[in-house]
Structure 1
C-alpha cells in the first residue's frame, strides 16, 4: 500500500513529506514535490535488530528508505578484520540506500534497526512510474539525490584529506621519536664501552 493511498495514512504522508526535505534527506526538494514523491512510497515496519540493508549485497539494492520513526545503526566492515565499525546512528528524517536505487551497485554499508523502525520505501519500479507520470518531479528528485550524494563524496574526501594530514603528522612524530631513541641508544652503547669512573684502574695512566 502506498503512502498516498493509505486509508489512515494522511498523517503519515504529511510526516513523510516533511521529513523528506530535512537536512538528513533531500533538503533541495520543494514541499510540493515531496508530497508527490511520498505518494509513490510504501510504508514498512522493521523490528529492532533486523538488517535493512547489508553491505556488499547485490540482490536487494533496488530501493531507498526514509526513516520516519526509530533509529538505524550504519556499519562498515573493517578491512583485514572479521569485524565492523559503527559509522553513524541515524534517526527520523534520514535517508538510506539512495545510491543503490540509482546505480544498482552493491550496498556500501550495513544498516540495522537499533529500535523498531517505521520507514517510507521508494523502489526503483516506483521511481520509474514517477518518471513516467511526473517527469518534472522525478527530474528534480534525481537532481536533489545527486546533490546529496555529491555532498557526501565531498565530505568523505575532506575526511580523507584530514586523515592523511594527521597520519603524516603522526609519522613525523614517530620518526622524531625514533631518532631520539636511536641517539639515546648510541649514547648508552658509547658509555658501556668506556670504563666507569671510580672503578679499579679507571684513573691509571
Structure 2
C-alpha cells in the first residue's frame, strides 16, 4: 500500500482497488465530465488503469485545505462541497458544489503545492485518484492519451483562472463604482 493509500484509509475513506474502468459509467457520464469529455471509452479506460478507486460517506473529508499532495480526484458519483477558510477564524466560504464527472486537485497534482480548498462529501461518493506518478507513467506508456489528458487539465485550469478573473473584475468594478458614488456624494455636501 502506498503512503497516499494509507493516509486515505486513515482518514476513514474506503479504497476500492487499483485500476478504475471508467467506461462502465457510460458515454453519457464521459460526455458530462469536463476532464474526459473529449476521450473515447477506450482512452478513458487507459487513464483509469492508472487510478485507484475510493468511497466516502456523507460528511467525510476527501481533500484538506493546506495539505500538500501530488494527486487529484475525479468524482465518479455523488456530490462534494468545495470550501475555503476565511481569515483566522472558523468561518468557511463555499467555492463550489461539484457533481459526478468533475475533477479537483489538479493544481496540487501538477505542482505539489498545498491544497487551496477542502472537499467534503455531501452524500455518499465514489471517486478515482490520479497521482503525478501515474500521469508520468501514462505519458511514457500511452503518449497520445497522456498528452490529451495534460491538454485537458490545462484547459480546465485556464477556464477556472478566467472565471476567477471575471469574478475579481466584477468585485473591483463594484468597489470602484461605490467609491465614485461616495466621492460624488461628498462633493454634493
The TM tier, using the shorter chain, reads 0.7 to 0.9
User: CA RMSD for the aligned pairs?
Assistant: 2.2
* Structure with more of its chain in strand, by fraction: 2
Which of 137, 148, 166 aligns to 1:129? It is 137
Which of 103, 106, 119 aligns to 2:127? It is 119
Cα 1:47–1:139 change in 2 (3 A) is: same
- The correspondence of residues 1-205 of structure 1 with structure 2, limited to 5 A, is 1-4=17-20, 13-15=23-25, 19-22=29-32, 24-58=34-68, 61-79=69-87, 81-180=89-188, 183=189
User: Normalization by structure 1: what TM-score?
Assistant: 0.75
When Rg is computed on C-alpha atoms for both structures, the one with the higher figure is 1
Cα 1:64–1:21 change in 2 (3 A) is: farther
Deviation at 1:142, TM superposition (A): 0.7
Runs of at least 4 residues off by over 6 Å: none
Deviation at 1:157, TM superposition (A): 0.9
Please give the per-residue CA displacement for 1:7-46, whole angstroms capped at 9, x wherever unaligned.
xxx6x54217754553543434454422311122211001
- Distance in structure 2 (CA, Å) of the matches to 1:47 and 1:54: 16
Deviation at 1:83, TM superposition (A): 1.3
Please give the per-residue CA displacement for 1:138-179, whole angstroms capped at 9, x wherever unaligned.
111111111111111111111111111111112222333445
Q: How many residues align?
A: 173
- Distance in structure 2 (CA, Å) of the matches to 1:70 and 1:170: 41
Please give the per-residue CA displacement for 1:40-98, whole angstroms capped at 9, x wherever unaligned.
2211001211111111111xx12111111111001112135441101111111111111
- Distance in structure 2 (CA, Å) of the matches to 1:38 and 1:17: 14
